[in-house]
Amino acid sequence: MIDLLVRGALVFDGSGGAPAHADVAVRDGVVAAVGARLDLAAVHTVEADGLALMPGIVDSHTHFDAQITWDPTVRPSPALGVTTAVIGNCGFTIAPCRPADRELLMRNLTQVEGMSLAALRAGIVWGFETFPDYMAQLRRRGSAVNVAAYIGHSSVRTYVMGAAAATRAASANEIAQMQAIVRDAMRHGAVGFASSTSPAHNGEGGLPMPSRLAGDDEIAALVEAMAEGGRGVYMLTKGGHTPIPFLESLAARTGRPVMIAALLHNATNPRAVFDDLDAIAAACARGHRLLGQVSCCPLTMDFTLASPYPVEGLQSWQPALGLAGAALVAVLSDPAFRAAVRAELVTPTTFRLFNNEWDKVHVVQAQRAENAGLEQRSIAEIAAERGADPLDTMLDLAISEELATVFTAQLLNSDEDAVGRMLNHPNSIVSLSDAGAHLTFFNDAGFGLHLLGHWARERGAMSLAEAVRRLTSHPASVLGLQRRGLIRAGCAADLLLFDPATVGRGPKRRVHDLPGGAARLTTDAIGVHGVWVNGRQVADARGLVAPTPLAGQLLTEFSA
């Protein structure tokens, strides 16, 4: 007898090939058979009645490193069809970490990943110091989805250099110590090495995240240490001073893939992302494997001026970083500060989050009754009505409300024709959900459902079969995930049952279920009827099943 039989589904097997009506049988967490009218007895039978069945979504860019220690269900991802999550992206991991550095690490995450410091303090289960310790804790505690983990540059740097990691270059001896940690992490099952050189990535007090202080020699040494065993992916969120030719040289020297984030379309500099993709394609043509992480979602963020992530990457905003209360208000009120910000915003650049598009910044929630009429209106509209400068308008409103005004900004990926070209680029990988991070700013954990519903069904930018491939076997092959991303006999039974006519993601909403009651944004699945991880159901049409089984596996063995 088999454990599960899904009968009469339209099966998209993950290969990109045409779907076929079939039954799928599962035994011991593995697909046992795929075929028409399987005559098998099963403990559980699901009548698909024409619904579609695909492999579970592989989310290659998450930040569940902290959340998974207190919430092994890693909400909301399983209910949104995700069956495998890759953590540690950008190098913002929580291991290794010395006990003395825990507060600094949490404060850095609060700044760079928009996490609640109170929630981190209350929630993180610190049963580890080293990366192997952390992996052992993940294995011991379990998770609802499969998990693969990067060893993270900023954490490794801080472990070796302490607070100096965010202020100076590393010595040769310190680089050698970091190499040893990376080698050890790879021996204990890391999927690769992750880092960031992005100017948007600042930590406590506005200091750069530690990896941003690394020189090319340090980056090369650590990528080479990762690759010594003949496997591993180097993942980088790229700043302007880390050119693609340098990244190609790393791929050439190590023979390992380089995953480059975050390739997002900027309407004020529309060629930049395609120049990067063209350079990536040229490197691949030379036999050096580079991939660009692209998003199928418009990058929209909620924020306040007390934590204005969209502008924190501006050089002119640096005097305000790390300040709070009266000190922050003083800087935001300074005419010289405002003039510098205005000047930078009108200066063309390759990449930044906010690009002076004030018509795309709206007031979400005013704090004073007399300002309620401003809600849902753009800063451009309000400024024009008042005959004022948009930057002054936003800053003055926020200051009048003690910096508690909630704004939203559509920052990047707003040109859908351009985004469609990026999604179909042969050297792109659909990613960048950032699930587990920026919890009060945005939630793109449902990116896979958005690709299936919006891009495949509604816009016809790709076939549904290709959208499924992009979410399943493609990332699985890049990451070296064994027996995942396909519905075939012998493959892991990570499955998503959905209605192709309705599948999508719902509107964002705010809930208060983080440790200490802290808020996060979430979204609900539309058209999802079931999610199975290693053959065990973790979600149905109503969301997570209760109690959610911790059916996931810690993935530590990867193909070369």
Angle between helices 390-400 and 335-345 (to 10 degrees): 130
Give percent of the chain with pLDDT exceeding 90: 90
* Mean pLDDT, rounded, for 442-459: 96
Per-residue pLDDT tens over the stretch 246-279: 999 999 999 999 999 999 999 888 999 999 999 9
Burial degree of 343 (CB within 10 A; 0-12, 13-18, 19+): exposed
58 band by pLDDT with thresholds 50, 70 and 90: very high
Whether the Cβ atoms of residue 193 and residue 257 lie closer than 8 Å to each other: no
Q: Is the pLDDT of residue 241 over 90?
A: no
Q: What is the tens place of the pLDDT at every residue in 71-111?
A: 999 999 999 999 999 999 999 999 999 999 999 999 999 88
Torsion of the alpha carbons at 64, 70, 73 and 77, rounded to the nearest 10 = -30
| pLDDT score of 112 more than 90 | no
Q: Are 68 and 77 in contact (CB under 8 A)?
A: no
The pLDDT tens digits of the residues spanning 475-519 come to: 999 999 999 999 999 999 999 999 999 999 999 888 999 999 988
pTM for this prediction = 0.93
Domains of the chain: which residue ranges?
A: 55-298+413-477+489-503+516-544, 302-409
pLDDT of residue 204: 86
The answer to whether 534 touches 146, Cβ cutoff 8 Å, is yes
* Structure-block tokens of residue 347: 């200066």
Between 205 and 397, the higher pLDDT residue: 397
Judged by DSSP in three states, 254 sits in: helix
Nearest of 88, 61, 91 to residue 77 by alpha carbon: 61
Which distant-in-sequence residues (6+ apart) come within 8 Å of 370 by Cβ?
A: none
CA 26/CA 47 separation, integer angstroms = 14
Cα–Cα distance measured from residue 2 to residue 25, given in angstroms and rounded to the nearest whole number:
7
The rounded Cα 17 to chain-centroid distance in angstroms is: 28
Q: Where are the alpha helices (DSSP H) in 3-152?
A: 67-70, 102-112, 117-123, 131-141
Q: How many other C-beta atoms are found inside a 10 Å radius of the C-beta of residue 442?
A: 24
The structure tokens 């619904």 sit at 51
Looking up tokens 């915003």, which residue turns up?
345
pLDDT at 436 over 90: yes
d(CA 114, CA 95): 19
Both tokens of 277, joined, read: 């993709």
Q: Which CATH number fits domain 55-298+413-477+489-503+516-544: 3.90.1310.10, 1.10.150.120, 3.20.20.140, 3.40.50.1820?
A: 3.20.20.140
Q: Which residues contact 131 (CB under 8 A, 6 or more apart)?
A: 93, 95, 96, 151, 181, 184, 185, 188, 190
Residue 270 near residue 417, CB atoms below 8 Å: no
Averaged pLDDT for residues 143-151: 98
